[in-house]
Amino acid sequence: MIYTVTFNPSLDYVVTMDKLNLGNINRAETETIYPGGKGINVALVLGNLGIPAKMLGFIAGFTGQEIEHLSRLYGGNCDFIKLDTGYSRINTKISADTETAVNGQGPSIPSEKLQRLMQQIDELHAGDILVLAGSIPADIPDDMYEQILQRLETRSIRTVVDATGELLRNVLKYKPFLIKPNQDELGEIFQVTLTTDEEIIYYAQRLQTEGAKNVLVSLGSKGALLIGENGTIYRQASPPGRLVNSVGAGDSMVAGFIAGYLHNGNVEEALRLGVCTGSASAFKNWLATKHDVSQVLLTL
């Protein structure tokens, strides 16, 4: 079974308009509310691709109830821990001449609820996959992902981590199966600006030296680079298409990669499916369906 953990789920309030005028009242042309948070997106796309995944994480208040309701409506299988106080965040995503987002902070998570998550993680079985994706609320120790991977160290559970900065770097010593920084996030870890493939490869290899097995660097419209477990470098360009909304494209790529890898263990094919799933989501207003992905695969 695949489990995804989203510490800080959201309702994504997605509005579209031709142009965003800062400092003015802007009127939305369309508005839609989706369940959000990286782990939730990964699980929904896995589900769309026919691979069952269970969503774990924390929800609070009426927004939390709606996250759960919408997640189930879109086919998700969830076992969220309910917090007694606070509200799950609402993240505003403005899709205009450029893409702008305001992500909320989210509720505090008390230690007894964290313990409940640890119990859920202790119930995983050998052969399961655990995906840790997204930011954690400010009052959670920033070694939280590290603590979870340490707990899983000897249990034959493959881990996937999509996080930034120290949250990501601290887990590398526990040898996650896959990490997926984007180009900017990879640069930020080493406090450099990356522009060429050579530079990206060099720093991705450094993360592999620190312990990550597969390092998948997403490059937006330019596709992705993968340093496979045996050190082989793979480069996959994006398929042609028009960007509609990139929210969740990275999460879709993670889901596509996992789905591809589970098919036959071939990382090059997993990369291709990952890129096409990411792009299929970027080419529409929300997460790709299986049909969307198969259409995009035909154009590659």
Ligand X SMILES: O=P(O)(O)OC[C@@]1(O)O[C@H](CO)[C@@H](O)[C@@H]1O
Ligand Y SMILES: Nc1ncnc2c1ncn2[C@@H]1O[C@H](COP(=O)(O)OP(=O)(O)OP(=O)(O)O)[C@@H](O)[C@H]1O
79 is catalytic: no
- Distance between CA 223 and CA 218 in Å, rounded? 6
Quick one: 34 or 228, whose CB is closer to ligand X? 34
Quick one: 90 or 275, whose CB is closer to ligand Y? 275
Tell me which of ligand Y, ligand X, none is bound by residue 218, counting a contact when its beta carbon lies within the kind-specific cut-off of 5 to 8 angstroms: ligand Y
Look at the block and give the residue holding tokens 């959000």. 36
DSSP β-bridge partners for residue 275: none
Q: At what angle do helices 249-264 and 267-282 cross, to 10 degrees?
A: 150
Quick one: 103 or 208, whose CB is closer to ligand X? 103
Count how many Cα atoms sit within 13 Å of the Cα of residue 57 in the half-sphere of its side chain. 38
List the alpha helices (DSSP H) in the chain. 38-48, 61-73, 111-122, 144-152, 165-169, 183-190, 197-209, 249-264, 267-282, 290-299
285 and 243 in contact (C-beta within 8 Å)? no
Taking alpha carbons only, the member of 119, 118, 120, 112 closest to residue 85 is 112
Our finding on whether 68 is near ligand X (CB under 6 A) is: no
Our finding on whether 88 is near ligand Y (CB under 6 A) is: no
Q: CB of 218: closest distance to ligand Y in angstroms? A: 3
- Sole window of 84-92, 102-110, 113-121, 215-223 interacting with ligand Y (rule: CB under 6 A): 215-223
With CB under 6 A as the contact rule, the residue among 2, 3, 5, 10 that binds ligand X is 10
Tell me which of ligand X, ligand Y, none is bound by residue 12, counting a contact when its beta carbon lies within the kind-specific cut-off of 5 to 8 angstroms: ligand X
Size of the site for ligand X (CB under 6 A): 15
173 and 210 in contact (C-beta within 8 Å)? yes
Our finding on whether 36 is near ligand X (CB under 6 A) is: yes
Quick one: 176 or 250, whose CB is closer to ligand X? 250
Q: CB of 155: closest distance to ligand Y in angstroms? A: 28
Our finding on whether 214 is near ligand X (CB under 6 A) is: no
Give residues 28-67 in contact with ligand Y (rule: CB under 6 A). none
Of these residues, 12, 128, 162, 251, which one is catalytic? 251
- Distance between CA 220 and CA 25 in Å, rounded? 30
Taking alpha carbons only, the member of 140, 177, 176, 124 closest to residue 58 is 140
Burial class (CB in 10 A: 0-12, 13-18, 19+), 88: buried
Taking alpha carbons only, the member of 1, 164, 189, 191 closest to residue 79 is 1
With CB under 6 A as the contact rule, the residue among 68, 128, 146, 251 that binds ligand Y is 251
Q: CB of 247: closest distance to ligand Y in angstroms? A: 5
- Sole window of 61-69, 188-196, 222-230, 246-254 interacting with ligand X (rule: CB under 6 A): 246-254
- Distance between CA 86 and CA 108 in Å, rounded? 7
Nearest-CB residue for ligand Y: 250
Tell me which of ligand Y, ligand X, none is bound by residue 57, counting a contact when its beta carbon lies within the kind-specific cut-off of 5 to 8 angstroms: none
Our finding on whether 178 is near ligand Y (CB under 6 A) is: no
Count CB-CB contacts under 10 A for residue 273.
24
Report CA Rg, the chain. 18
Give the interface with ligand Y as residue ranges (CB under 6 A).
Answer: 182, 218-221, 223-224, 238, 241, 243, 246-251, 253, 275, 278-279, 282
Residues known to be catalytic: 251
Give the interface with ligand X as residue ranges (CB under 6 A).
Answer: 8, 10, 12, 36-38, 41, 91, 103, 134-135, 247-248, 250-251
